[in-house]
Structure 1
């Protein structure tokens, strides 16, 4: 049994890797492609039926994926954009839950308002992984990406809290608004506090204990699980615990991690996140057979109608929300109009169109119990699961596939000053190096040839960079720069060939050859970046 399970897991990881390569060839975002592939695989006769366990998603998949997203999120951008992020992550989630509750109560026979709030809490949050993965290869403004990533980090917490309160109301038959409001604030505050407390402990370990790169990487893998499990154990928000702790440690990472710890951790996390993302999205597609066959007393035609209607509602509600959410604060506050540029309506629409749902919604639906406390079957459970599946497919596949087309049709221009920032950064660092050498090594810089050459190199770098900034363009033509970079890569390749010859002739020890190969790897990585 264990061998069969391991074979299934390894096979799925292999399939994910192969399908991801195919998605690159087809230029389709791999989360979308994996969901479609999972749908196709689920239709093949004889394929083993894989049922997604919500506990696996919430405990195994969710903490590291949220932690990775928080780690790569800029705290400065997150705090600077806290108003639009908060309006989407909390305001839109509550608005969507309320709208879906009343609409589903009106549309579906015998569908209570409490069940409507439960469904709304399930399908209201866009997915952090989906938003980041779909947008990473598209040319969109940095502000939009920061808002969507920040929203997707926080909205899982607000939606799961709505889900929890709706479930409690269904199971107990009681709901007190003021009590729910107090509990909401307590769940949010204590979740953040637990995440920050564990992050501070990790910070102290990183900062003052003699760790190694392997230990640092291991701690980074343990932290998200510890934050999530501790917070959930005390019935607080595990999502906010992971997000707050991840943001704190990311902000302080330059103080606590050495260069080799950062390199090793980044490599390990890139592989882990890639595999977890792939498995999550292909599992979504593989649920088709289970979801359809679980409808029971509902006809497939009626269930599809309910699913499409509610999917359309969630898309429309988001689009209608983002316009007043963007422009109303500007009308009210003069300070906002002064500090922030006015977002164009095209960019606002793109924000509304980028609300892709994902695995958290499906896991929440699967977490609904089969029976009520009295032993009766949970009402409309299978239908809620099917509608959730329809919303995920409609938003992730349809919106995700059409997003590049929408960007082209809207003709959204991306104005970036990355080149100027890179040049300014290079100039400032070069001047810092020259100043340091003049202060601490004045005699050596004038007498020793190696010191003088190094100083002249940075002085020349500063002069060239300053001239580029004054002219507003690169000093050298793009064709020259491409040829120069290709020359550098060719030289690395030639040295690798020579290392291979030396290894075959056993001219030097393997340890020395491996060290030199690592140097060439880092050198090539710098050139390719």
Structure 2
């Protein structure tokens, strides 16, 4: 390990340079990182990188899922819960089923159980890839909300399929009632464990004498403890982390100080930035290990199988996307749906095309044991690994590079947002300022005549200016201003609940500004 330490440092530097280059040329950085890792792996005397699946599942996956749960909007997830659930569970299952049938029919020696095993591995799209691409193009909030919500759940659904297929391959039998019980426990048990441990951590933050540094360390421990606890009792660690993360994220202003929230954002953004970079670089670096184990089938045939499975995944997701829309249009005649307007043919296509695969698929493939319990080698293990790599590479290249073009060419318009984001932000700031003025005049009217600083604050609010310029404010105004900030936060939280169409990211931006103001006043 220490002998290769300079190499690992060099890899991190390369990752940083490639991400900067990707931002410069407006290409999703996962594409460049996978290709760079692939190129580096062919350099003579480069250390062989062997990815341990536990490294992905227990080191990388929990914090990445947890951070995603903190950034996603619960309000938007609930609003689009039916379509998100359809994509995260139904579409993933249909993709796995399509792969299973094609692999069983086309690839020699592939049983239906092995087909489902491969399908469970390659069925979940990678959220990081889609997120990196969507940064460079303007997409409707509806699409980004659905993709964010799907990304929190599809890993769980695919890993559940993967586990059941593993049992079927190993035991050569599938008992339905046992599978149903296990499936229910994995879902409901995972959610319950996540909520319970998340609740305990929330109380620890609130009642223990913590500071910002302790709060951040606790937040770093939280996803690992939740994941390990859920996996220890054979429930879904992914769903546990997601549910616990959503609980804590939606109550962050009840138990974290403004300083903890501000510093926590910076720490988590930096951590996930480097974790995402490392996992995609590792995918490319692992190619020699994957190809070295490819036996019993020619390289050309193996590549052909990978191309075929990639094609099946792309088509099945697009068809499923249109199918989900059709089902929604029919269902709206019988139940209340998020919006009754027709999304057109463009939105389902874009949702279907955002199907890049990533590190969870590779980790799942690598976790396949070399030998079965009876001592025999696991059937088709190396071919499954190779096909998975081809699927990841091709979806990143084909869909990852063309998605921005399709989004710009199709010129999507958001039929669900009543007003543009900038206009909504301006209206919110104006309403917040009016509330603040009314609150000060109502509750501190007796101090307005004597406190000139308070008069100046009201004048600034009337002109929609932000904050207090003079940091050396008096004690009286400091107390008043901190009280005002608390009530403004509560007003924003209530506004977010009441206005179902308001983009929650606008609310969070204003909340972040209030945290900055509080820190400035406290330390003035």
The question of a shared fold, defined as TM-score above 0.5 by the shorter chain, is answered with yes
Write out the 4+ residue segments of structure 1 that deviate beyond 6 Å after TM superposition: none
Which structure has more RCO (C-alpha within 8 Å, separation ≥ 6)?
Answer: 2
CA displacement at 1:329 relative to structure 2: 2.2
Instruction: Write out per-residue CA displacement over residues 303-330 of structure 1, whole angstroms, 9 at most, x where no aligned residue.
Output: 0111101110000000011111112222
CA displacement at 1:338 relative to structure 2: 8.1
Quote the residue 2:362 is aligned against.
362
Question: What SS does the corresponding residue of 1:63 show, helix, strand or coil?
Answer: helix
CA displacement at 1:139 relative to structure 2: 0.7
Contact 1:131–1:149 (CA under 8 A) maintained in structure 2: no
Quote the residue 1:216 is aligned against.
215
Cα distance between partner residues in 2 of 1:178 and 1:322: 30
1:286 matched to 2:285? The reply is yes
Cα distance between partner residues in 1 of 2:337 and 2:457: 48
- Mark the CA change 1:338 to 1:242 in structure 2 (over 3 Å): closer, same or farther: closer
Quote the residue 1:74 is aligned against.
73
Question: What SS does the corresponding residue of 2:413 show, helix, strand or coil?
Answer: coil
Cα distance between partner residues in 2 of 1:245 and 1:446: 49
* Structure-1-length-normalised TM-score: 0.85
Quote the residue 2:322 is aligned against.
323
Contact 1:444–1:452 (CA under 8 A) maintained in structure 2: no
Quote the residue 2:347 is aligned against.
347
Quote the residue 1:54 is aligned against.
53
Contact 1:326–1:348 (CA under 8 A) maintained in structure 2: yes
1:200 matched to 2:212? The reply is no
Mapping of residues 327-338 of structure 1, within 5 Å: 327-334=326-333, 335-336=335-336
Contact 2:80–2:338 (CA under 8 A) maintained in structure 1: no
Cα distance between partner residues in 2 of 1:410 and 1:421: 25
Cα distance between partner residues in 1 of 2:383 and 2:25: 34
Contact 1:85–1:150 (CA under 8 A) maintained in structure 2: yes
Cα distance between partner residues in 1 of 2:149 and 2:9: 33
Contact 1:35–1:284 (CA under 8 A) maintained in structure 2: yes
- Mark the CA change 1:458 to 1:32 in structure 2 (over 3 Å): closer, same or farther: same
CA displacement at 1:223 relative to structure 2: 0.3
CA displacement at 1:336 relative to structure 2: 4.2
CA displacement at 1:351 relative to structure 2: 0.4
CA displacement at 1:343 relative to structure 2: 0.9
Contact 1:69–1:128 (CA under 8 A) maintained in structure 2: no
CA displacement at 1:29 relative to structure 2: 1.2
Question: What SS does the corresponding residue of 2:62 show, helix, strand or coil?
Answer: helix
Contact 2:15–2:281 (CA under 8 A) maintained in structure 1: yes
Quote the residue 1:403 is aligned against.
403
Quote the residue 1:163 is aligned against.
162
**Number of corresponding residues:** 465
Q: Please, which of 460, 463, 470 is the counterpart of residue 460 of structure 1?
A: 463
Contact 1:445–1:455 (CA under 8 A) maintained in structure 2: no
Instruction: Write out per-residue CA displacement over residues 433-492 of structure 1, whole angstroms, 9 at most, x where no aligned residue.
Output: 212221222232123322222222222339xxxxxxxxxxxxxxxxxxxxxxxxxxxxxx
Quote the residue 1:450 is aligned against.
453
Quote the residue 1:434 is aligned against.
437
Quote the residue 2:120 is aligned against.
121
Cα distance between partner residues in 2 of 1:312 and 1:376: 32
Q: Which moved more, 1:317-326 or 1:453-462?
A: 453-462
Quote the residue 1:380 is aligned against.
380
CA displacement at 1:46 relative to structure 2: 2.1
Quote the residue 2:502 is aligned against.
none
Contact 1:129–1:277 (CA under 8 A) maintained in structure 2: yes
Q: Which has the larger radius of gyration?
A: 1
CA displacement at 1:413 relative to structure 2: 3.0
Question: What SS does the corresponding residue of 1:329 show, helix, strand or coil?
Answer: helix
Aligned CA-pair RMSD: 1.8
Structure 2 unaligned regions, length at least 5: 466-515
